Structure 1
């Protein structure tokens, strides 16, 4: 069992290191370009290996870890849903979400409810630590994202660019998860709660920056198209 754990740990560290490099590179590369696609796929596969090894280590009898379970499940959901949304652009035009996407979202919803329950149980019993608060925070975020998935699966999104905003949000959130894990494991200076939630605060600001940037770009494009149509009609 220890040999298996050590093997999983080596794979986990190697994949995590790759994800920590590929993720930021993908963010700074031009969106839609070949380099963005390549580094994005590298980040995706690295994070899926990180998640798989984390979950496997978390459930080993001698190594139970709520930390690894939360990070593993949440990371797998973020990057898989962020990647899959690229194939769901047609939802705004009546496309139906495949079973795979329903499974991903509903599985996350179930785990999110479990994380919230564990966190609240610890807090209400008075025995909770910072991990209980973290469990509630991450569980709540995951549940909100899964609920958003279900809404777009059952009702066509009004904004045709919804997939872009979801892709940006989920993939950057995957980066947040990777940096959170790295910081928590290696932290020797910061309070545990800061190490856990600090990357989320910073990452949320980055997500807001990119979403605002692309929404403004979409509005300018729509305005330009409207002007062209009016000029054409007047002639």
Structure 2
């Protein structure tokens, strides 16, 4: 518990700092590595906590965050189609399974008049969107040349969204549950769109 709070706190602070500084320079890369490993330790401790005291909400956030982190880090090594390895396909397949499970469980909760299922549906849809993005990138069908850089930004910010979400949900005392779960996504997704458009290099169309 202490380790989870400690590394989670570091991730929250460093993640915010990375959002504010210039992207792509040595400082960004160095601080980004600290963020990555702090987040990995946060996720690892979260899985231990869910094992000792079952909490499927924390487990879901952990799975989503782990995928964002690992795939985001891996994309820095996938500048060509030939750089795609079996581990990359495995990560994508695992997220496909979890994304489908999130959606199925979300519908189940909604049908039971538990509208917290909306949260599962949102996370499930986002998961499948990323899975489809992986498929296009791995097959060389990405719409931008530097897909590896754009996707790296998207995934790392996505992992930060998951971290803020977990922090807000655990410490929330005034917001409705669904709002607490979805607010970080609503605020930071526009940043993902902004940076994606800023850094992407479009493929030139042949005349």
Same fold (TM over 0.5): yes
- Counterparts of 2:29 and 2:78, CA distance in 1: 17
Whose radius of gyration is greater, 1 or 2? 1
- Counterparts of 2:198 and 2:69, CA distance in 1: 22
Q: CA deviation at 1:100?
A: 1.0
**Cα-Cα RMSD:** 1.7
- Given the alignment of the two structures, is residue 106 of structure 1 paired with residue 93 of structure 2, yes or no? yes
CA contact (8 A) 1:119 1:133 kept: yes
| TM-superposition CA deviations, 1:11-55 (whole Å, max 9, x none) | 111110010011122222222211101111111111111112212
The aligned residue for residue 75 of structure 1 is: 65
- Counterparts of 1:208 and 1:200, CA distance in 2: 12
Greater helix content? 1
The aligned residue for residue 86 of structure 1 is: 76
CA contact (8 A) 1:27 1:36 kept: no
Q: CA deviation at 1:156?
A: 4.3
2:140 to 155, 161, 165: 155
Structure 1 unaligned spans of 5+: 1-8, 223-235
Secondary structure in structure 2 of the residue aligned to 1:160: coil
- Given the alignment of the two structures, is residue 145 of structure 1 paired with residue 135 of structure 2, yes or no? no
- How many pairs were matched up? 203
2:180 to 190, 195, 198: 195
1:45 to 24, 37, 51: 37
The aligned residue for residue 119 of structure 1 is: 106
| TM-superposition CA deviations, 1:42-86 (whole Å, max 9, x none) | 1111111111221222233xx211211110000000111111100
